[in-house]
Amino acid sequence: MSVTHYLAYPVVLASASPRRQDLLRRLIPDFQVFEADVDEESMIAPWPWETAARCAKAKAEQAFERHPGSIVIGGDTLVVVSGTQKMQQLFKPKDDEDARRMLRLLSGNDHRVITGVHILWPRGKKAFEVETTITFREISEGEIASYVASGEPMDKAGAYAAQGRGAGFIERVVGSLTNVIGLPLDEVEQALAELAEYSLAD
């Protein structure tokens, strides 16, 4: 039996993302969902790891205010493209044209997917970021237009879903695939195991 069975508090996921919910159910079958309202653009930092950390922390803190007797998991994912001048941080596209712009940037290039995770519980906190490198094949304008028309890119960081049709654009994954989908399961499981062990030691 997973050590997460021994968690001393109920679990709350500070995200309305269906992908994060599906992933967390692999570890914990029963948890609550809190839809945090965070202005991601106001939290953009020069370093994308800090941006992801800020957004995850803000989501977790909102949820913890409402559920102070719980283990709250906040997560936020962004895509980073390295250009000649600076790193571009890509969140969810604002509209179809923004989605097309993002997919053109990713086409034929490497990019990084960074997820910040912030866990709060009545006796402390744990925060970390996980990074995965993705390589896209060249994508034609026709493929981009068809994909955007499908609607799949519109609520995804970087305008694609690694667990959906967007998987067809991926040539290589270096690191955690669940991180790309929205929640790095191995790292979250380890963090929750540490909380369970802490509780069992009392």
Answer positive or negative: Cα dihedral of 175, 189, 125, 92: positive
| Catalytic-labelled residue, pool 22, 39, 76, 95 | 76
- For residue 122, give the 3-state DSSP assignment: coil
Neighbours of 3 (CB within 10 A): 16
Note whether 7 and 196 are within 8 A (CB). yes
Token pair 């195991």: residue: 193
Angle at 28 (CA atoms; ends 26, 34), nearest 5 degrees: 110
* Whether residue 22 lies in the annotated active site: no
| 114's tokens | 């960074």
Answer positive or negative: Cα dihedral of 157, 118, 57, 16: positive
Read out DSSP for 143-183?
Answer: HHHHHHHTTGGGGSGGG--TTTGGGGGEEEEES-HHHHHT-
Which active-site residues does the annotation give? 76
